[in-house]
Chain A
Amino acid sequence: MDIATGEFLGFLNLTWQAVAMLVIGGVLVWLGIAKKVEPVLLLPIGFGCILANIPLGGAAEAGGFLAVLREAGIHTEIFPLLIFIGIGAMIDFEPFLQRPYTILLGAAAQFGIFATFLLAYLLGDGWLHVLDFSLQDAASIGIIGSADGPTSIYVATTLQSKYTAAIVVAAYSYMAMVPIIQPPIIKAMCSKEERALKMPSVAGTISQRTKILFPIITVLVVGLLAPKATPLIGCLMFGNLLRECGVVERLSLTAQNELANIVTILLGITVGGMMAGTEFLRPETILVFILGIVAFSLDTVAGVLLGKLMCALSGRKVNPMIGACGISAFPMSSRVVQKLGLEANPHNHLLMHAAGANVAGQIASVVAGGVMLMLVPMFI
C-alpha cells in the first residue's frame, strides 16, 4: 500500500487547535443540554464545531456539506433573513404599540454598538494596532451589541469580517447570559426606590387595522430613511404581517414553526462549521468575546440613563429599569426587569412595559445594523 497511515486515520492528524475546538464544541453542546443555555442554537453550533474540527473529515472544507451550507446560506445572507421572517411572525408588537415612546429607549440602547465599534477600532487599525481589527471588523464586533443573532450575522457577513464565527457565537451566548449581565448594572444605576416604581397601566387596546398597518408603515419609514436596513426590517415586518393580517394563518404558523426551526438547525450547524481551529483560535477571538460583554453592558447603561431621563420628565411615571430592555434580547431582558421590579416591590408588575421596550429594541437594533452598513463603506 502506498497510502501512509496518517492520511486516513484522523487521530494521527490531530493538532492542538483541533483538540481545543473539539473541547469547545463539546462545552457548547454541554451548555445547551445540561445547563439549557440557548439549547436551540448552542447545540447545533457546538455539534457543527465538532464536525468541522475532525481531521480529514472534510465537512467544512471546499465541497464539504458545511462549506456548501456556508456558501448558500451565510455568504448569501439568506439564513438570517429567513430567520427574521420567523421572528417577525412570533413577535406581538402590541406592548410597543401601546407605548410607542419606548422606541426611544430602543434607540438609546444601541449606544453600545457604536461605542464598542470605536473601542475595537482604536485597539486595531484605528490607533494602537495591537489587534488585527479593520474598520469592517470593528463594526461587525460592535454589532454584537444589537443583542440580535440574525442582525449580527447579516452585518458581519455583509462587511466580510474575519471574525464572523466568533461574533455570532458571542452574540448568541451573551443573549442567553442577559440574566447575568444586566442585573448588576441595573442595580448599580437604580436605587431600590426607583426599582420599586410602579408604572400606570395602559388603557385601551390596539385595533387590528393598526396592527396590520404597523409592519407596512415601519418598512416604508425605515426603508426610505435607512435603505440598507430594508432586507432585515422587510423580513421582520413581513413575518409580522403574516401574523397580524388574520387571513394567512397557515403561513404564519409555518413561519413561526417549520421555517424558523429548519433555518435555525441549518444556521446553527453552519455557524459551528465556521469554527475551524486555525481561524478561530487567535487572540482577537478572546477580544471579540470581551468586547461583546462591553457592548451589552454599555447598551444597558445607555438605556437606563434614558429611562431615568424619561422618569424625571414624566413625573415618575416611567420606571427607569425598562430602559435596559431597549436591547433586543427578547424576552430575557423583559423578564430580568420584571424580576427586579418584583424584588423591590412585590406588587410591581413591569413585564408588559418592559416587553414594549424590548420589542422596540428589536426594531432599533435592525435600524442600527442598517445604519452601520450604510456608514462603514462611506468611510473606508
Chain B
Amino acid sequence: MLNALWIVLLGMAIVFAVLGILLLVMVLLSKVVKPRDKRGKKG
C-alpha cells in the first residue's frame, strides 16, 4: 500500500514538474519567436 501512495505522490509531482518545465520553455519560446510583421509584404 505504501508503494501505491508513493506512486500517487511521485506521479503527480512528476506530471506537474514535466508540464511546468514545458510551460517555462513555451513562455521562453513566445518571447524569442515573434509573429512576423506582414505590413511590408506585397499584397
Contacts and interface: CB of A to CB of B under 8 A. Distances in A.
B26 A207 contact: no
B22 A218 contact: yes
A115 interface: yes
A118 B8 contact: yes
Interface residues of B, number: 29
Interface in A184-216: 204-207, 209-210, 213-214
A106 interface: yes
Contacts of A372: 7, 11
A110 B12 CA distance: 8
Contacts of A363: 19, 22
Contacts of B5: 118
B12 to A, nearest CB: 6
A221 B16 contact: no
B9 to A, nearest CB: 8
A364 B33 contact: no
Interface string B1-43: 1011111101110111111111101110110011110000000
A379 B3 contact: yes
Contacts of A135: 3-4
Contact of B15 (A126, A139, A213, A367): A367
Contacts of A118: 4-5, 7-8
Interface residues of A, number: 45
Given A122-B1, A371-B14, A376 B19 contact: no
Contact of B29 (A106, A210, A375): A210
A363 B23 CA distance: 12
Contact of A115 (B6, B8, B34, B35): B8
A348 B21 CA distance: 32
Contacts of A330: none
A100 B3 contact: no
Contact of B26 (A100, A121, A139, A222): A100
Interface string A215-233: 0011001100110000000
B21 A138 contact: no
A110 B14 CA distance: 11
Contacts of A205: 35
A214 B15 CA distance: 19
Contacts of A97: 26, 30
Contact of A114 (B3, B8, B20, B25): B8
A348 to B, nearest CB: 26
B33 A210 contact: yes
Interface string A343-380: 00000000000000000000110011001101110010
A11 interface: no
Given A111-B12, A207-B34, A210-B33, 8 more contacts: A100-B27, A114-B8, A135-B4, A222-B22, A225-B14, A367-B15, A371-B15, A375-B11
